[in-house]
Structure 1
Amino acid sequence: MGRSLPWGVLGAAAGLGPVLGWFTRLTQEGVGTALAVFLLRVAAVGLALGLAFLLDDPARDTTAVVPIRRVVRSGVRLVLVAPLAASSWAAALLLVPERIRPPAGDLTLEAAALVVLALSGAACAVRFSDTPRPGVAVAGTLLTCTLLATLLPTSGALFVQADAASWAVAHQRWAALLTLALLAGAALQSEPVRKHRLRLEDTHRSAARAAHR
């Protein structure tokens, strides 16, 4: 299963965060917390865009009929990639000088919400379509929604500055978004009834062939 993962895309996405964190060290004389927040958000979006490709599988027509449930197949892929993603984000945070580092917990909440949205989007594409590589469409949708989110009015803003009075309220919205994305992602792991029937029919045909031999 590990060989079927899009390691090139995932590696590039994971490498972006540490590079941006390191950049703040190179310019720490003139950089402030506001720029650090911006760069970390770019890193979070980049990581999420990379993980949008996690469920891409050129051999999906073959793996779709194996007796292993989708939730298990997706879970294995996630377990294989999770250490890389977590290390990337941790490095991005730690490379930002402490004096200008924004609240790590709140930025991690934003990153987690974006990542889960990407994974839920990929799960949705796999659940309701037959395309073996939904990553491009999912990543494009996520990027578009993220850009649109930056245009939200102050009363409903998600992306606010660290010194803004609405910082805490904005992160309550992020927490709600993460919860909804988790619930949606979990619901999308169920197998379509039609595919259940196809698998049962394939199993019966195989049993019948074996009995005739």
Structure 2
Amino acid sequence: MRGARRGVLAVQLIRPVARAVPWRALLTGGTLGLLAAALPRLAGGEVTPWAGVTALRAAALCGALGAAFLLDDPARRTTAAVPVRRALRHALRYALLLPLAAAWWTAALLLVPEEARPPAGDVTVEAATVLALALAGASFAVRRRDAARPGQAAGASLLVAAVLAPLLSPDQWALFTAPDDPRWADAHGRWTLLLAAALMAVAVCCAEPVRRRTLRTLRSPSGTSGPSRG
């Protein structure tokens, strides 16, 4: 019974949540990502495997920077006392994003010439990890500071990490290897672990602090408040 009520509530929330999603930021990041993926092909000449994987990594970063703004909601603080938990509100935003992200990433892969395209499964793990890190950063800012616009901080942190990681990581822990590098398989084992850690961080940050849940109960004991857009 409770599960059915939650399902009905989720359906009712889809439209207001979709209106609150910052589609412009997502579209900008996605467009830049597709341009980055297509750049080796547009440049003409032979495309090397290193150019192919670099283009896809740049595309994944652009897409993740756009997705960092997914949880932005200027009205978050004014609609905090509602009977809908943050986990559901965030899950609906993720549910709207993920099918589009999968289609977008498929297009990015196809833009790289087949002879220069890295193993799709491995490079997809990289892209999923970068996306999960962006969402984890935004989720952490919402949980920690109840930030109305966590996208800027999350995007900036992700960009700094993307620049510093290849420079500071030791060779034995390298992440950004070439497809023909003997360390490719080991590197993607580390990418998988990083993806799992990022997803766990997203799940943890989706839960509201106990103090916030208690305050919500005190403010809205009858559960009559309207749904939040956050």
TM-score, normalised to structure 2, is 0.85
Aligned to 2:192: 175
- Quick check: 1:153 aligned with 2:138? no
Alignment of 1:78-157 (within 5 A): 78-151=94-167, 152-157=169-174
- Please identify runs of 4+ aligned residues in structure 1 that moved more than 6 A: none
Identity %: 48
User: Residue by residue, what CA displacement relative to the aligned partner does 1:147-205 show, whole Å, maximum 9, x if unpaired?
Assistant: 11111121111111111110000000000000111111111121111111211111249
**Partner Cα separation in structure 2 for residue 193 and residue 29 of structure 1:** 58
Q: Give structure 1 stretches of 5+ with no counterpart.
A: 208-213
Aligned to 1:77: 93
- Quick check: 1:194 aligned with 2:225? no
**Partner Cα separation in structure 2 for residue 33 and residue 146 of structure 1:** 20
Deviation at 1:28, TM superposition (A): 4.7
**Partner Cα separation in structure 1 for residue 68 and residue 35 of structure 2:** 20
RMSD over aligned CA atoms reads 1.6
- Which structure has more relative contact order (CA 8 Å, sep 6+)? It is 2
Read off the aligned partner of 1:175 and give its amino acid letter: T
Counterpart contact for 1:28–1:97, Cα < 8 Å: no
User: Residue by residue, what CA displacement relative to the aligned partner does 1:41-69 show, whole Å, maximum 9, x if unpaired?
Assistant: 00011111111111110110133221111
Aligned to 1:184: 201
Read off the aligned partner of 1:159 and give its amino acid letter: F
Aligned to 2:8: none
Aligned to 2:46: 30
Counterpart contact for 1:14–1:84, Cα < 8 Å: no
Counterpart contact for 1:9–1:53, Cα < 8 Å: yes
- Secondary structure of 1:150 counterpart: helix
**Partner Cα separation in structure 2 for residue 195 and residue 78 of structure 1:** 22
